[in-house]
Structures are given as structure tokens and as C-alpha cells.
């Protein structure tokens, strides 16, 4: 049934719908990539806190 609707639409309408779909996919992709970057940054910060050795700068000889 969907193919019938596409045949009834003109080329410009099909192009507009395609651009809308692509724009929506790009927005979703950008959101996902931002979330991944935030998670990586949070993970890196946690990892550094765990692996950074404590140094005592007030050592007495």
C-alpha cells in the first residue's frame, strides 16, 4: 500500500520526504554520538581517578 502512495506523489514530494527522513536519522545519530562521548569522558575521568597514584609532596627526609 505504501508503494501506491509513493507513486501518487511527485518527485519533489518524494525528495522532501527523503530529506526529512535523512535529517531525522542525522539528528538521532548526533544525539547517540554525543551520549557516547559523554560516557567515554565520564569513564576516562573515573579511570584516571582510580589509576592515578597518590603522591605525598610533604615528605620529610
Q: How confident is the model at residue 49 (pLDDT cuts 50, 70, 90)?
A: low
Q: pTM of this prediction? A: 0.54
User: Whats the size of the chain, residue-wise?
Assistant: 61
Residue ranges covered by each domain of the chain: 2-41
pLDDT tens digits for 8-42?
A: 889 999 999 999 999 999 999 999 999 999 999 99
Residue 54: per-residue pLDDT: 62
22-38: b or e for each residue (b if 16 or more CB lie within 10 Å)?
A: eeeeeeeeeeeeeeeee
Higher-scoring residue by pLDDT: 22, 54: 22
Asked if residue 7 has pLDDT above 70, the reply is no
Amino acid at each position: 500500500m505504501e508503494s501506491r502512495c509513493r507513486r501518487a506523489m511527485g518527485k519533489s514530494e518524494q525528495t522532501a520526504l527523503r530529506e526529512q527522513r535523512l535529517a531525522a536519522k542525522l539528528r538521532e545519530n548526533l544525539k547517540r554520538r554525543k551520549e557516547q562521548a559523554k560516557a567515554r569522558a565520564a569513564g576516562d575521568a573515573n579511570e584516571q581517578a582510580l589509576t592515578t597514584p597518590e603522591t605525598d609532596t610533604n615528605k620529610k627526609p
